[in-house]
Structure 1
Amino acid sequence: MKKSLLTGAVLSASLLATSTASAESFPDVSEDYWAQESISALSERGIMSGFPDGTFKPGEPVKRIQAGAMIAEELGLEAQNTTHNFNDIPADFPSKGVVSVMERTGIIGGDSEGNFRPYEPVTRAQMSAILSRAYNLEANQNYYFTD
């Protein structure tokens, strides 16, 4: 149940875990929204929160840094303010601890040019790889997606 809650909400929402709120408090998440239950559960646990304007923006793509922050929070990984090997993450980057712990654990890495790309949207394929590494999931050859 825990994995399905995280997977559903991560794929449908775009936020960093900065404060707690319930989905009922987000004006852009109706009670009949398909992911309302997952959004509510994760926001109550502090894994996800809304934007400063009080909205949740469930249609916005999840960014790589947001996915990393949510995974780190869910797994209880302590952010590391250590050095990293990414050209596009300056020393004063506000979420460099998340970048460092994702690199250290191998959950989210960089590209072949040495960039982390923190604000790039995560694709479904990338999220599958991230979740597989985070939860040590095995491939299931019985499922195929044509898109």
Structure 2
Amino acid sequence: METLEQTNESAAQATQHVRLIFALIIMASFLDIIDFSIVQVALPTIRTQFLATYADLQWVIGAYGLTLAGFLMLMGRAGDVYGQKKIFIAGIVLFTIASMAGGLAPSLLILIIFRALQGIGAAMSTVTAFAIFIRIFPEGPQRNKA
């Protein structure tokens, strides 16, 4: 039988766990959103480095947005089938690897491919983040506060 002290300790650990999950969700969502526009800072360098046209630069920006939007529903279903946590973590890993590889891309085409992979990773983490958020915060005042 648990004592009152053990119950309070368990509740404190659960609260810390929820806060950590919430912080990870917020951080991942922030990265997914900011990556859409932050690449615009690097466009002049990308243009000179790869001798890119303005149409090429549009693909650097658009590849991310198109794959992010295009894969949202599919990744939502994948989260339902395979588990929200697995898809969320896989999305973070894919996004991180594609970001690093995109920064080291030797050609414009490779950069665009990695930007598209970033978009898929962002779709995976974005859509499952909302599902995880809804699951860890019960409906009512606690969810409204979060």
Q: Same fold (TM over 0.5)?
A: no
Larger Rg: 2
| TM-score, reference length from structure 2 | 0.24
| TM-score, reference length from structure 1 | 0.24
Greater percentage in helix = 2
